[in-house]
């Protein structure tokens, strides 16, 4: 999973320092590497492993000149996270094209091993945006320089869609001084367009999440449709191109966990959706006759909005029972179970007052390997809880994500092949409930009734693109070898 932001301002303005601010707002989408590519007639690039704030110095910002720039934060799900895989990518010949993306290609192995070598193009990185970049360039090569830019981009995006299978949203720069964006035919990954009036003309922005617009003072224009591209010429109105028609299936896990609550995805407020998850979970809890707790406590941070509403609907007090140490890295990607469990204890410290002698209901957004829940239940008991109930605002995760959300391989999912009762025993809870899938989907759709279906592959194992299963096999082999 990754995040990107592109800014296209009228000529004469420099956008990189704003882009930097915007990338900080998207930092939750990837903390592994970041980069900015700007264009002022020439491309200027700075990218490196690390957090946004650690990568860019004043001297970099002075060098990253131009009224067009794209930036990226990376969360690696394939590859070993090498520096050369950091984004954006660009080429100067036969065209000047820069690109950043969020997503995963499910046919990347075939593209790298077979398809591009047949065209004498050796892909050098483990980053799938390189394949999209070359496919796009091949499409552009089939057009004439005299054709209108939107026709040329139409052909280039069609070529990218033709070759690159999977889920991806892209933003890029053409050396004609134009920005573009596109969203794959299923629209699994988010991509939104923003606008800001300057005295020099209109600035355009394209991003993975609308929160980047809020911090930069851009208005949300609209999300790109699935299979759609946009051409942004600074100072002019955007040109939208519907390249292919297909069923739209945005990722529901963005709403559950990944996106910031202050973002809107396909018109759906992440915050309100999480509140709805809480309400739905409260109703489900009550209907099922589950034991009523004395207090509801969220696992910070992503479960807070749901837990607060769950408590309100159930008429039970809500308390912040855990203090989170923000300076501990991600426990999710630690190399082994022991290291992950240790870090969870260091990351979350209980306030015993909220646990002593109480029946507590802990709420988290999801249970993946079960490490967090198992450890937290243990912490709650040590802090004096009489009974520890556990609720997940999403259904059991059982299937890996082929589209770039970092999920365990099949055997790591604690719920895979188990009943809820077996998972309850495994994590040591006195009661366990998962939000049912139909309720989860209803909460998402309530935010935008035009969405017919979400991608729920991680809960159901049913994926909206054809070659997902093959890709998962390759991915799991790659992860196993990376771990070794
Ligand atoms: P686990 O300990 O493996 O069960 O992971 C569950 C916790 O990880 C939950 O608290 C989630 O908020 C969080 N989580 C779920 N999916 C991801 C992900 N793809 N990357 C990082 N954290 C995640």
Each of the 484 residues of the chain gets a pLDDT tens digit; together they read 899 999 999 999 999 999 999 999 999 999 999 999 999 999 999 999 999 999 999 999 999 999 999 999 998 665 667 888 999 999 999 999 999 999 999 999 999 999 999 999 999 999 999 999 999 999 999 999 999 999 999 999 999 999 999 999 999 999 999 999 999 999 999 999 999 999 999 999 999 999 999 999 999 999 999 999 999 998 899 999 999 999 999 999 999 999 999 999 999 999 999 999 999 999 999 999 999 999 999 999 999 999 999 999 999 999 999 999 988 766 665 667 777 777 888 899 999 999 999 999 999 999 999 999 999 999 999 999 999 999 999 999 999 999 988 776 778 899 999 999 999 999 999 999 999 999 999 999 999 999 999 999 999 999 999 888 777 877 666 656 655 5
Of all protein residues, whose CA lies closest to atom 3 belonging to ligand 1?
369
pTM metric for this prediction = 0.95
Predicted local confidence at residue 330, as pLDDT: 64
Q: Which of 2, 171, 191, 401 is catalytic?
A: 2
CATH class of 269-463: alpha beta
Q: Nearest residue CA, atom 19 of ligand 1? A: 406
Instruction: Find where tokens 């617009």 sit.
Output: 213
Two tokens, residue 49: 């492993």
Q: Which CATH class is domain 3-249?
A: alpha beta
| 332 Cα: distance to centroid of ligand 1 (angstroms) | 6
Which pLDDT belongs to residue 335? 61
Least Cα distance to 320 among 293, 343, 295, 347 occurs for 295
What is the atom index within ligand 1 of the atom nearest the CA of 372? 2
Sheet holding 68-74, edge to edge: 43-49, 33-39, 68-74, 3-8, 201-207, 192-198, 219-223
Report whether residue 367 contacts ligand 1, using a CB cutoff of 6 Å.
Answer: yes
Burial class from Cβ neighbours inside 10 Å (0-12, 13-18, 19+) for residue 268 reads buried
- 370 alpha carbon to ligand 1 midpoint, in Å? 9
pLDDT, residue 331, reads 65
Cβ of 74 below 6 Å from ligand 1: no
Cα dist. 168→64, 99, 187, 396, 432 in Å? 26, 12, 8, 25, 35
Two tokens, residue 484? 């070794």
Give the pLDDT confidence score for residue 404 in this predicted structure. 87
Residue 327 is predicted with a pLDDT of 84
Task: Decide if 2 is catalytic.
Answer: yes
Distance 373 CA to ligand 1 centre (A): 10
Question: In which residue ranges of the chain is CATH 3.60.20.10 found?
Answer: 3-249
- Tokens coding 342: 């240790």
Q: Give me the count of residues in the chain.
A: 484
* The pLDDT of residue 260: 97
Q: What's the CA gap between 45 and 56, in Å, rounded?
A: 11
* Ligand 1 neighbourhood includes 406 CB (under 6 angstroms): yes
Query: 328 C-alpha vs ligand 1 centroid, how far in Å?
Result: 15
CA dist list (Å): 454 to 27, 266, 277, 442? 25, 11, 15, 10
pLDDT for 482 equals: 56
Residue 67 CA to residue 216 CA, distance in Å, equals 15
d(CA 204, CA 207): 10
Q: Are 420 and 395 in contact (CB under 8 A)?
A: no
- Among protein residues, the one whose CA lies closest to atom 18 of ligand 1: 406
Q: Is 257 in the pocket of ligand 1 (CB under 6 A)?
A: yes
Question: Is any atom of ligand 1 closer than 6 Å to the C-beta of 369?
Answer: yes
CA angle 291, 294, 296 (to 5 degrees): 90
- Say which residues have a Cβ less than 8 Å from residue 327's Cβ, sequence separation at least 6: none
CA distance 98 to 40: 13
Ligand 1 pocket test target in 254, 331, 368, 479 with most atoms within 8 Å of CB? 368
pLDDT recorded at residue 339: 75
Which residue's CA is the closest to the ligand 1 atom numbered 9? 366
Residues of the chain within CATH 3.40.50.2020 domain(s) are: 269-463
Distance set, CA 409 to CA 32, 63, 328, 449, 465 (Å): 20, 42, 24, 33, 19
> What pLDDT sits at residue 231?
98
């Amino acid at each position: 999973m990754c995040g990107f932001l592109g800014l296209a301002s009228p000529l004469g303005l420099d956008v990189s320092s704003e882009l930097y601010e915007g990338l900080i707002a998207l930092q939750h989408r990837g903390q592994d590497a970041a980069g900015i590519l700007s264009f002022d007639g020439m491309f200027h690039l700075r990218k490196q492993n690390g957090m946004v704030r650690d990568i860019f110095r004043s001297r970099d910002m002075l060098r990253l000149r131009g009224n067009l720039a794209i930036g990226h934060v990376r969360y690696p799900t394939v590859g070993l996270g090498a520096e050369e895989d950091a984004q954006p990518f660009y080429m100067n010949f036969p065209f000047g094209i820069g690109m950043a993306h969020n997503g995963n290609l499910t046919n990347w192995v075939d593209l790298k091993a077979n398809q591009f070598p047949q065209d004498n193009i050796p892909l050098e990185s483990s980053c799938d945006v390189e394949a999209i970049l070359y496919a796009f360039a091949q499409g552009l090569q089939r057009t004439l320089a005299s054709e209108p830019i939107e026709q040329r981009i139409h052909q280039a995006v069609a070529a990218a869609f033709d070759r690159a299978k999977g889920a991806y949203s892209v933003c890029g720069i053409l050396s004609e001084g134009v920005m573009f964006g596109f969203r794959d035919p299923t629209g699994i990954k988010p991509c939104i367009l923003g606008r800001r009036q300057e005295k020099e003309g209109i600035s355009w922005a394209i991003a993975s999440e609308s929160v980047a617009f809020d911090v930069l003072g851009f208005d949300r224009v609209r999300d790109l449709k699935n299979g759609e591209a946009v051409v942004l010429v600074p100072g002019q109105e955007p040109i939208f191109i519907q390249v292919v028609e297909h069923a739209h299936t945005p990722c529901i896990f963005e709403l559950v966990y990944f996106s910031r609550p202050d973002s809107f995805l396909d018109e759906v407020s992440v915050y309100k959706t999480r509140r709805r998850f809480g309400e739905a979970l409260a109703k489900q809890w009550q209907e099922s006759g589950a034991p009523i707790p004395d207090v509801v406590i969220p696992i910070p941070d992503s479960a807070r909005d749901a837990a607060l509403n769950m408590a309100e609907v159930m008429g039970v007090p809500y308390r912040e029972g855990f203090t989170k140490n923000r300076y501990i890295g991600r426990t999710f990607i630690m190399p082994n179970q022991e290291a992950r469990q240790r870090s969870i204890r260091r990351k979350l410290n209980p306030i015993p007052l909220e646990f002593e002698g109480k029946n507590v209901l802990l709420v988290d957004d999801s249970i993946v390997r079960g490490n967090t829940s198992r450890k937290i239940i243990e912490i709650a008991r040590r802090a004096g809880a009489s009974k520890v109930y556990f609720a997940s605002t999403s259904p059991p995760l059982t299937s890996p994500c082929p589209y770039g959300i970092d999920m365990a391989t099949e055997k790591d999912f604690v719920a895979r092949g188990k009943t809820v009762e077996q998972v309850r025993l495994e994590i040591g809870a006195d009661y366990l409930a998962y939000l049912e899938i139909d309720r989860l989907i209803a909460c998402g759709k309530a935010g935008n009734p035009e969405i017919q279906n979400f991608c729920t592959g991680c809960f159901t194992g049913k994926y909206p693109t054809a070659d997902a299963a093959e890709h998962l096999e390759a991915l799991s082999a790659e992860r196993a070898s990376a771990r070794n």
